[in-house]
Amino acid sequence: MSNIEISVTDPMVPPSPPVMSGPRRTILRRLEPIYWLGPAFLLIAGVVITPVFFMVWSSFRNIDSVGFDHGWAGFTSYHNLFALPDLGPVMMRTIVWLVSVVGATMLISLPLAVLLNRQFPGRRAVRMALVAPWATSVFMTAIIFRWMLQPQSGLINIVGHALGLLHNIGLTSAQADWLGRPGSALVWMIIVAIFVSLPFTTYTLLAGMQAIPGDIYEAAKVDGASAWRSFSAITLPLLKPAAVVALLINLMNVFNSFPIIWEMTRGGPGDQTATSTVFMYQLKASSIPMAAAMSVLNFFVVALIVILFLRFSNWKERAI
Amino acid sequence: MSVEVVPVTRTSGAKRVRHRRPLSARDWILSIVAYIIAAVFLVPYLEMIVTAISPSNQLGTSQLFPSRIDFSNFTSLWSLGLGTNLGVSLEVAIGATILVTLVALPAAYYTARKKFRGRMFFLVLVLITQMFQPTALLVGIYGEFSHLGLTDSVFGLVIVNSAFNLAFATWIMTAYISSIPVELEEAAFVDGTTRLGALRRITLPLALPGIVTAMIFTFIAAWNELVVALVLTTTPSHQPLTVALDGFIGGYQIDWGHLFATSVISTIPVIILFAFIEGRVVGGLTAGSLK
Amino acid sequence: MKGKEESMKKRIATTVSLAMITSVLGVSASSFGAVTAKASAPKVTITVLGADYGSGPSNTTSTYWQHIAQGFMKLYPNVTVKTSTINWNDYNTKVTAQIQNKNYPDVLQGEFFPQYVSDGLLYPLSKVLSNPNAGSPVFKSSFSVKNVQYAMPFVTSARTMFYNKKLFAQAKISAPPTTWAQLLTDAKAIAKLGKIGYSLPLGPEEAQAESYLWMLGSGGGWQNAKGQYTINSKANLKAFAFLKQLVASGATNPNPATWNRTADSAKAFANGQVGMEFNGPFLTATIASAGVLKPSDYATAAIPGANGPVIKTLGVADAIQVFKSSAAKLPWIKKFMDYATNNANQLAFAHEYALLPGTVSALNSLKNDPILGSFVKALPHTVLFPSSANWTSTVLPAIKIQIGTAVTGNASSVLNQLQTLATGG
């Protein structure tokens, strides 16, 4: 670890002494960003960008299913990928997945943050409870939900039967195989995805609320504003930046979300519950270059979403 | 990196207000709603614990609670060598947290304070790293790391986890540092302090909530990372807890009891971490983006 | 608790047998040692990558390979054997990542792909085993390309029908079914008890095996005797028509397309929730560790067919194969392969995971084993998965994903699609 520390701290010293003069100083100035950003840049370039090039390169190669490379293939994989009849439905499902998970997460976490921002006995414990899905790996949360959804022995079905809920919606015990049918499986996986996205989002909004200076509310109170009015006129607008951060991070994470669907249904039956990320993984079993092409496509889709989002929220004009 | 030294202004302010007035009916309703929500959030994890302490022949039957409690899943974990995996997980998570902080902090400071050529490029690059799924990059990472001799090593995992969490850390820190008025630092310059001195004495303490938040994020993400570790490591004693967990889901059998017992154990350090730091995370997430 | 004791006993037995092997070999090592030391043998490193057949550290296959490596290194101190294992679920991800980076193991235990041969990566078996015919001849053709065998069966299994005797008694069924019609009646009777009559795992994990067993029942299969795909044959359609009827009757698990062999079907059987299912010997290990069913609570029988029991059941083998390296290394790898596949090591593996060994001699010594014996006897009468080059690469992934939908949707269109894919590509 120590060598890294040196490379970060030592170069910081030269720019500061004012004795230095002339061209040497300007050169150092020019190089200044390298001292400060170099390590970060190296890490990103080495571990993320290089494999990205490898991924793009593989999408143009003729690699057989065992991983052996038979040479250049041009755009064949892209051609084959776009010819897949399932690609359209998968992309549509991805949009449904993205919009419903991110949308519901934002809608639920706002009142949740408001609630957690108030004083009540045991608030700290409630906040800690909310952290549980965040502290546990998503992989495990998905498995425990699959466990609870087992048709014969799962907690959700047992409790549902005990309360007579399942009977009321016309489900016999055998038919309560939620993950077996694409429709109900997708709904449950969306619920799990919302569940694991809530802590981060709620905490971000909560942080945003706590940063709003109390005196603004005081002033509003003096002016006779109602609670709702001060919420909609002060809290909401001032919360926008925090909400933008939360939304952006969620959009990228939910689009890339893999463990939930993989652990709960493997994208099945067939690819009927696969989003584009899971579909990419399914493709890998039959064609490595096609899976690489799908990864490239996924990147462009998520980049497009992010660009549209940034445009829409005027991100660029703001500080970061 | 001791965290305790820092005065926590925000939470201490809140503490003073607490419990001054008697609870109204509205407060009670609010608390009850909050408790119900908390319960909903805890149910899956309680079920995880219940399953972990059930005798093996009562798993997967339609009983809500086991007829007796059996801790053998927990006690036998240690003889299975999972202590080593726990150690690896700690090393990876702590290592990545330190590395990310050391690398992201200067980058964030510089980006927040300076307008330089390539600033936008750097920020976009950081954003882009967030858009990739490690699963899609696995083969490339494996190839590169096997050339560098970094497969099957804790250090290799530290590097990967640092790189994938650098983006978020840099972001949060940049945002936080930009919210600290430059004037404070400039005043220090006038007093003859060097930039480094100003950074150490003025900016760092003020930015600490942001830094701590970034550190926690990195710790949790590295702690829970599975896919890369699965492909990069081969020796059981070099594998983090997540990979050991995955091993319980075998091709011919699944060891549910140990699977859930291990995940209970793997969640505990994170919860403890949160308990210590909860207030600061809330502060840190504000992330100065609220100017 | 009973199950735990049993698995503990088994574990102790394995450890004892391994200890015996090493001690026996230790003795012989001294006589060997003199020879090898004189030759001043070169330093050699052999890397072994194997699939993990266990479920966690208590029975991980990496322990098994470490024992073999240690035993071998004692015999040949100039050789370093590096072993590692990978969970079956992540096996392909890891192995393809290695091959894509040209980072080949010397010895790979797991799946055999004909592509390895066409890509020029493997040594023929004759170069890496003293007795290239040591493996069960049943699998010779499926591990051969152009009549040259490249991989040896290391682990094998045969499928049969398991049935829950308790549930059969409760439903007043006197004998296990031998025909589909009987199976339907019996499954319905068991379903009336609130259990799964017949557990049908057509989820992606091993849909190819389950559907094959049904196709065999009506004289169909994935390919005909000439090795041509016959996925949409009349016999296969007949099998799926019956499965559709079986599923519609409510006597199976409700959604076969997402019901997997290990996580769902085996677990449900072990918990006493299933009347009948087709499975391999390894199910007995799951039953033992669940501890719900006693050995006397279940039994095995021949797989029922359309008009009578299926004579040829499905046999499956996992391979061991050697990747090309250097001529200098080859003799040492050959010694290692001989050692790793000797009787004692083969049997230790079979007992640990309730699977069958791959060598003829090890199989012969298990003929009277109380658990594995009946499966050993079934093995010579097995049919195998196709060995066409496009089976594992193209057809199999599609089958895993799609075939399960045939029992609820339009079977003939699903089978037609698969046939087109198999013959078109």
Which one is the CATH code of C2-157+316-383: 3.40.190.10, 1.10.10.10, 3.40.50.880, 3.40.640.10?
A: 3.40.190.10
Residues from C in contact with A at Cβ < 8 Å? 92-93, 95-100, 113, 115-116, 119, 121, 194, 196, 203-204, 250, 253-255, 257-259, 268, 271, 273, 392-394, 397-398, 400-402, 404-405
Same domain as B165, residue B272: yes
**Closest alpha carbon to B94 in B286, B259, B240, B206:** B240
Same domain as A94, residue A53: no
The verdict on residue A277 lying in a domain is yes
**Closest alpha carbon to A114 in B16, B19, B30, B277:** B30
Q: Closest Cα of chain A to C170: distance in Å?
A: 19
Residue A26 burial (CB count, 10 A): 10
Same domain as A103, residue A38: no
CATH code of residue A186:
1.10.3720.10
Q: Closest Cα of chain B to C10: distance in Å?
A: 16
Which pLDDT value is given to residue C21? Answer: 45
pLDDT tens for the 320 residues of chain A, in order: 333 333 333 333 334 444 445 566 677 777 777 888 889 999 999 999 999 999 999 999 999 888 888 889 999 999 999 999 889 999 999 999 999 999 999 999 999 999 988 888 888 889 888 888 988 889 899 999 988 888 767 888 778 777 766 655 545 544 567 887 888 899 999 999 999 999 989 988 887 887 777 788 888 888 888 888 888 888 888 888 778 878 988 999 999 988 899 888 888 777 889 999 999 988 888 788 999 999 999 999 999 998 888 887 765 444 44
pLDDT at C17 over 50: no
**Per-residue pLDDT tens digits for C277-323:** 999 999 998 998 888 999 999 999 999 999 999 988 899 899 999 99
Same domain as A21, residue A154: no
Same domain as A132, residue A37: no
Question: Residue B143: which of C91, C101, C292 has the nearest Cβ?
Answer: C101
**Closest alpha carbon to B244 in A130, C55, C146, C152:** C55
Same domain as B268, residue B161: yes
The verdict on residue A103 lying in a domain is yes
The verdict on residue B4 lying in a domain is no
The verdict on residue A125 lying in a domain is yes
A46 touches chain B (CB under 8 A): yes
Please determine, for the modelled complex, whether the ipTM score is greater than 0.90: no
Same domain as A179, residue A124: yes
SS3 category, A16? coil
- Reported as half-sphere exposure (CB side, CA atoms, 13 A), residue C156 has a value of 33
Domains C2-157+316-383 and C159-314+386-424 share a fold: yes
Q: Which CATH superfamily is domain C159-314+386-424 in?
A: Periplasmic binding protein-like II (3.40.190.10)
Same domain as A98, residue A149: yes
- In this complex, how many residue pairs, one in chain A and one in chain B, have their CB atoms less than 8 Å apart? 296
Same domain as B36, residue B141: no
Q: Closest Cα of chain A to B99: distance in Å?
A: 7
The verdict on residue B259 lying in a domain is yes
Same domain as B249, residue B154: yes
Residue B64 is part of which domain span?
Answer: 22-70
The verdict on residue A243 lying in a domain is yes
Contact call for residues C36 and C78 (beta carbons, < 8 A): yes
Same domain as A128, residue A33: no
Task: Tell me if A66 and C254 make a contact (CB, 8 A cut-off).
Answer: no
Which of A40, A58, A76 finishes a domain?
Answer: A58
Same domain as A134, residue A37: no
Same domain as B221, residue B181: yes
For A181, which residue in chain C has the nearest alpha carbon? Answer: C255
The verdict on residue B110 lying in a domain is yes
Task: Give the number of domains in chain B.
Answer: 2
Same domain as A270, residue A162: yes
Question: Residue C88: which of B56, B76, B251 has the nearest Cβ?
Answer: B251
Residue ranges covered by each domain of chain C: 2-157+316-383, 159-314+386-424
Contact call for residues B44 and A129 (beta carbons, < 8 A): no
Same domain as B218, residue B100: yes
Task: Give the number of domains in chain A.
Answer: 2
**Per-residue pLDDT tens digits for C249-273:** 999 998 888 888 888 899 899 989 9
Contact call for residues B80 and B245 (beta carbons, < 8 A): no
CATH code of residue B229:
1.10.3720.10
The verdict on residue B11 lying in a domain is no
Same domain as B122, residue B32: no
**Per-residue pLDDT tens digits for C63-107:** 999 999 999 999 999 999 999 999 888 898 889 989 988 999 999
Contacts of A288 in chain C (CB under 8 A): 96, 100
The verdict on residue B17 lying in a domain is no
Same domain as B135, residue B39: no
Same domain as B276, residue B161: yes
Same domain as A233, residue A101: yes
Task: Tell me if B270 and A303 make a contact (CB, 8 A cut-off).
Answer: no
Same domain as A109, residue A254: yes
Which pLDDT value is given to residue A97? Answer: 96
What stretch of H or E contains C259? none
Same domain as B96, residue B56: no
Report residue B14 as tokens.
Answer: 């809140």
Report residue C10 as tokens.
Answer: 């088994």
Radius of gyration of chain B from its Cα atoms, rounded to whole angstroms: 23
**Per-residue pLDDT tens digits for C127-139:** 999 999 999 999 9
Q: How many Å apart are CA C210 and CA C212, to the nearest integer?
A: 5
Contacts of A185 in chain C (CB under 8 A): 258
Mean pLDDT over all residues of chain C? Answer: 87
**Per-residue pLDDT tens digits for B135-165:** 889 888 998 998 898 989 999 999 999 999 9
Contacts of A292 in chain B (CB under 8 A): 136
Same domain as A301, residue A188: yes
Residue A145 is part of which domain span?
Answer: 86-317
**Per-residue pLDDT tens digits for C350-395:** 999 999 999 999 999 999 988 888 899 889 888 889 888 788 778 8
Contacts of A58 in chain C (CB under 8 A): 100
Same domain as B172, residue B107: yes
Contact call for residues A313 and A241 (beta carbons, < 8 A): no
Same domain as B276, residue B173: yes
